Structure 1
Amino acid sequence: MRIWTKDEIVARFDVERAVRMVEQGFIAYSRGGAQVPPVQHFQFASVNGECCIKSAYVEGTATFAVKASSGFYNNPEMGLPSNSGLVMLFSATTGEPLALLQDEGWLTCVRTAIAGQLAARLLAPHQVGGIGIIGAGVQARLQLEYLKPVTVCREVHVWERNPERSLQFAADMSAQGFSVQVHSTAEDVARNANLIVTVTPSREALLQAEWIRDGTHITAVGADAAGKQELDPRIAARAGAVVVDSIAQCSQYGEVSHALSARLIHTDKLVEIGVLLAEKRRGRNDADRAQITLADLTGVAVQDAQIAASVVSR
């Protein structure tokens, strides 16, 4: 078994290959061509931490994956990263462990950003006047970076509970060619953007339905476990199109689960991103400029299996 360090993984990483393989993973999942056991969740409330274990096998591929990913959100106060983790790849022929990827959570962060890119490609309005980011951590940076191929817009509006983190985010992303305005409220972000990405571990709604402008697309990636919530459930009800990475998973947790529990929407309204990718069609009605769209991405293990394989199998 080969052990890969984060530096080795980053050096070998091919973003175009990774995007292509994650896309193929979503398609396989929605077509029933993947084995994805239930996610295991651990909660460490006293230290604002969590860990999840995800595993998957995409039929016809050479390997299957098991991933452990943790988020301990008080860590930055101690000078430590919030996210960590590793991925193990096994032979789908013999069951032997082939690789241990000590990515320190990096692959999880990147595959989430890739999913955000795919969602924006399928759902974002063609004319983006402002990008809104709720949160200012590593994932916020990656989501913004991975939106570059999707839109020419470089006007960014950001809100984060910690003002110092917002200012650092603005400085970092300005160096990458974005014009970043820091706001004091999430409402101000919503009213200045028509492509919004939420990337926080919040357990209460940060965006209210009445703040969302007509024609806006929202990608929500933070609510990846039970109890988490970033959006007012009425946003899902107001949306003309709701796309999810997994209907089964998003029915249990994520933004959609809150709207379903409140009986504001029915599962008939949900479309998996893998279906849109397989059919090569947009998820938004471009003729309706007022249509609001929502992508609820809770993270499916096929993403982990595919992005890990994209590194090892080259």
Structure 2
Amino acid sequence: MTTVIELEEIKSLLKQVDVVTAMSQGFVQYSNGNSVVPPVGELLFDNPPGDVHIKYGYIKNDDFYVIKIASGFYENKNLGLPSSQGMMLLFNQKTGQTVSVLLDEGYLTDVRTAAAGAVAAQYFAPKNIEAIGILGTGIQAKMQLQYLQKTKPCKRVWVWGRTAENAVRFKEELGDEFDIQIAESAAEVAKNCNLLVTTTPSELALLKADGIRPGTHITAVGSDTSEKQELDGTILQKADIVIADSIPQSKSRGEIYQAVSKGFIFENKIIELGKAIQNTDLQRINDQQITVVDLTGVAVQDIMITTAVYEKYKQENA
């Protein structure tokens, strides 16, 4: 019989899962060729603006395969709804039987993305974080900041949002945990921080190279389609290290796609995250380097987090 796990139980089970470690392991499996991850399925909408990603795959010789449907509809806030929606489907890899439906409403996608940001900072952010800069004020902005505390703890934060109202709300919701300053521009965030995370659906670059301090690390999260862009190509051109979560995906989406297609960098500059995790020579070696990790989201992340939650569910209901 198919197990249905609803959101509140998923959140409870996740408290017992080391998601950051699971993401690291997933990236390694992916880069080592131990997973099967087909190209992303995608639906784009104009009115209202939104996108749906269908990601799916399996780790070889594992028990399951996973299909994830996750959407972002950015005007949902006007309806009192979260922008993220979706579900995870878990199947038996040997028989094709439906094992579990996880009605996560997009939550697991948000968590695994935030955990991937923590992994990126673990290997590429400078040792001493003066302040964390967040571009964006939505759920992913909040979760990136919270998950960064697991690998690069820092309470000094600068935030910029598309409206002052959004930035104030962000500060009010997290103000007890962090010392948050509201910036008037994205450039002001970059001026005051050496760890930046970009989480917006922007299609126009928000940051340029001349505003990035030496030694800064940037985790770019928002650009997960071919149209979105948060970083000017000059940033990737100037960067000492450019990392893709998936080199194949970087050929059609994300900051790397934008920079390569416009001639700012060549593909041979790009390193895949799973390879860099395993090789210290590919990681940051000093606090003057500028590093960029482009996270477009890989199905192996969904496989890892869905499997981990289901295994915890089985343990608790044995």
TM-score (norm 2): 0.95
Q: 2:299 aligns with which of 278, 298, 301?
A: 301
Which residue does 1:140 correspond to in 2? 141
Deviation sequence 1:102-134 (CA, Å, 0-9, x none): 000000000000100000000000011111000
CA distance in 2, matches of 1:164, 1:129: 26
Shift of 1:19: 2.3
> Which amino acid letter does the alignment assign opposite residue 299 of structure 1?
G
The residue number in structure 2 matching 1:290 is 288
Distance 1:84 1:278 in 2: 33
CA root-mean-square deviation: 1.2
Question: 1: distance between equivalents of 2:116 and 2:18?
Answer: 14
Is the Cα contact below 8 Å between 2:51 and 2:71 reproduced in 1?
yes
User: In the alignment, does 2:59 pair up with 1:58?
Assistant: yes
**Structure 2 equivalent of residue 202 of structure 1:** 202
Look up the SS of the partner of 1:203 in the other structure. Answer: coil
Shift of 1:174: 1.5
Aligned position for 2:181: 181
Aligned to 1:70: 71
Equivalenced residue count is 311
Partner of 1:253: 253
Separation (CA, whole Å) in 2 of partners of 1:261 and 1:42: 22
**Structure 2 CA distance for aligned equivalents of residues 281 and 105 of structure 1:** 36
Q: Separation in 2 of the partners of 1:243 and 1:206?
A: 19
Alignment partner, residue 36 of structure 1: 37
Residue 128 of structure 2 corresponds to residue 127 of structure 1 = yes
The Cα shift of 1:16 comes to 4.6
Deviations 1:160-219 (A, max 9, x none): 00211111111122122x100001111111101000000011111011111111110000
**Distance in 2 (alpha carbons) for counterparts of 1:179 and 1:17:** 26
1:88 corresponding residue in structure 2: 89
Ranges in structure 1 where 5+ consecutive residues have no aligned partner: none
69-78 or 269-278, which moves further after superposition?
269-278
For 2:124 and 2:149, how far apart are their aligned partners in 1?
Answer: 15
Letter in 1 for 2:165: E
| Runs of 5+ consecutive residues of structure 2 not aligned to the other structure | 313-318
Q: State the alpha-carbon separation in 2 of the partners of residues 121 and 160 from structure 1.
A: 25
Q: Secondary structure at the match of 2:284?
A: coil
CA distance in 1, matches of 2:18, 2:153: 22
Distance 2:282 2:233 in 1: 23
Q: Which residue of 2 aligns with 1:150?
A: 151
Residue 242 of structure 1 corresponds to: 242
